[in-house]
Amino acid sequence: MPDINGKLLARLHCPYCGSGLVVDMGVDNPASARFSGVLRCACYRYPVLDGIPILRQASPVGTNRDPIVELILKGDIAGAIAAATRPLQTQPLQSTGRLRRAISCMRSLVSGSVESAAPQPLWSENAFRETLYALKPRSFADYLYYRHANNSFMSATILICLLRELGATQATAVAGSNGRPTIVLDLCCGIGHTSFLIGALFSNLTVIAVDGDFGILRVAQRYICPQAMQVCLDAELPLPFADDAFDACLGLDGLHYLRSKVAILKELDRVLRRDSLWLFPHMHNALQSNVAPGVPLSPDGWERLLEFIPHRIVPESTLIHGFANDDACDLGPVASLALLNGSPSLASVATRREGAWCRHEGLSAVLTAPPGLLAFNPIFEVDTSGAGARLTARWPSNALREECALARTVLPDELILDERQVSRAGLSGVTPSVPSSLRELARRFVVVGLPPGYRRAAVAGHVTRPRT
């Protein structure tokens, strides 16, 4: 029973009754080496599907019979995964072809490959993209697929670089001073872009990625961040982790969607060590309009919420432009309330560590350190038919282009690179000797850290277009 019976199980308890979890039963699943089965606590039995615990009580009122657990007890793992994923299909499918495609992708999340006339390898871009677009409405799938061109993910990338303050490196994983690994909680992780980036930049960090959407976690596990540990949970409930379990928390684009903000921050204060880093990129401002606002606060509301811990709140534009222009994140000055009030989205760093409130420089060196990580941002059509490459931003919709207005202030609409830049910017991999020009491209998010599911082969004289 890999993962759940060892590394992960020891860190979990029931979010409802607080008692520990034990393995009630396991089910052989020839399609996967990960554990599937049932966990038991003092009050309930929870399903585990392909190594992902689902720590929500879903039994009808007056019973204690979880429908997914019932399928697992019958040995129907494929049915259990389909049942856990099916409620996420929120829009009717418009054609029989798309219906067949969605069913095929559902099965791929069980068996490991998308069914088609010409089967795609599990880690191919086609398999990842087709699964994503079958499971989610087109506009949301576009948002997820082109995440690297969104200012929310740009601000997350910048704050992730601050994890180097934990002593995180690309060195072989080592235990901390207390004999355990350094662990990061990726709260509301989505399909795993941030979990992947943390693991790729800092190989000695352990990432536990949590979200309330099992289907999204399944995509993350299958295509984006298979090395992270995933837990499906309701962040409105007490977190199912022990006190002082984590050294850092990243919460991208999530706090404004949680109603119980006071409760989740109290829980984070419990599960995070005293000197941990709290990183919250992209918090919506209630005083400004937003495409999907959630339940945001005004800047003074966010300030009151975080007053129990030393922190800085900065406009997202300040964070992104400071990185693009100066290769820095300046946490020294306190932003004026007037400046914050006029900012559609904000970013926050909180910590009790000494020396945090200063100017953090040279962040692009973190992004360009791992060899082979960087590739061209998927938003670009890449034409290599001449010497070098011509990059042209191709937005899948005007709505997404408008949503990413801040990102477009640093991300060029068109760019021509010479052969030397191309050879070091993703088409031929990154060499150990990183030129300043590559760091400049990373600061403008022309090149980004891409998971394997995004990779496309680069062929001389070829035009690589974004999928639309």
What span, in angstroms and rounded, lies between the C-alpha atoms of 125 and 451?
Answer: 10
CB atoms within 10 A of CB 96: 8
- Is the separation of the CB atoms in 184 and 205 below 8 Å? yes
Architecture (CATH level 2) of domain 150-367: 3-Layer(aba) Sandwich (3.40)
In this prediction, residue 301 carries a pLDDT of 97
* pLDDT for residue 177 is more than 70: no
Provide the 10 A C-beta neighbour count for residue 455: 14
Predicted TM-score (pTM) of the model is 0.89
Percent of the chain with pLDDT over 70: 79
Residues 248-275 have a mean pLDDT of 96
pLDDT, one tens digit per residue, over 137-169 is: 899 999 999 999 999 999 999 999 999 987 655
Give the number of other CB atoms < 10 A from CB of residue 170: 13
Average pLDDT over residues 412-426: 75
**Tell me, what's the pLDDT at 178?**
53
Per-residue b/e over 291-327, b at no fewer than 16 CB within 10 Å? eeeeebbebeebbebbeeeebbbbbbbbbbebbbeeb
Q: Identify the burial level of 59 via C-beta atoms within 10 angstroms of its C-beta, where 0-12 means exposed, 13-18 middle and 19 or more buried.
A: middle
Q: 216-247 pLDDT, tens per residue? A: 999 999 889 999 999 999 999 999 999 999 99
What pLDDT digit, counting tens, does each position of 421-430 carry?
Answer: 666 555 444 3
The domain ranges of the chain are 4-86, 89-144, 150-367, 371-464
CA 310 to CA 356: how far, in whole Å?
10
Residue 204, φ and ψ in degrees, nearest 5: -95, 15
User: What pLDDT is stored for residue 181 in this prediction?
Assistant: 83
Residue identified by tokens 């799938």 is 141
Secondary structure class of 319 (helix, strand, coil): helix
With left for phi above 0 and alpha for psi between -120 and 50, is residue 245 left, alpha or beta? alpha
Instruction: Provide the angle, in degrees to the nearest 10, between the axes of the packed helices 96-111 and 77-85.
Output: 130
Q: What are phi and psi of 3, to 5 degrees?
A: 70, -75
Kindly give the residue spans of alpha helices, DSSP state H, lying in 258-298: 261-271
CA distance 97 to 40: 41
Neighbouring C-beta atoms of residue 149, cutoff 10 Å: 26
CA angle 183, 186, 188 (to 5 degrees): 160
- pLDDT given at position 94: 43
User: What backbone torsions phi and psi does residue 90 show, to the nearest 5 degrees?
Assistant: -90, -15
Question: At 403, is the pLDDT very low, low, confident or very high (cuts 50, 70, 90)?
Answer: very high
Quote the distance between the C-alpha of residue 84 and its chain's center. 20
Q: How much is the pLDDT for 111?
A: 54
Q: What average pLDDT is seen over the chain?
A: 84
Q: Within its chain, how far is the Cα of 346 from the centroid?
A: 18
pLDDT: is 198 or 27 the higher one? 198
Is the pLDDT score of 304 beyond 80?
Answer: yes
Quick one: pLDDT band at residue 33, thresholds 50, 70, 90? confident
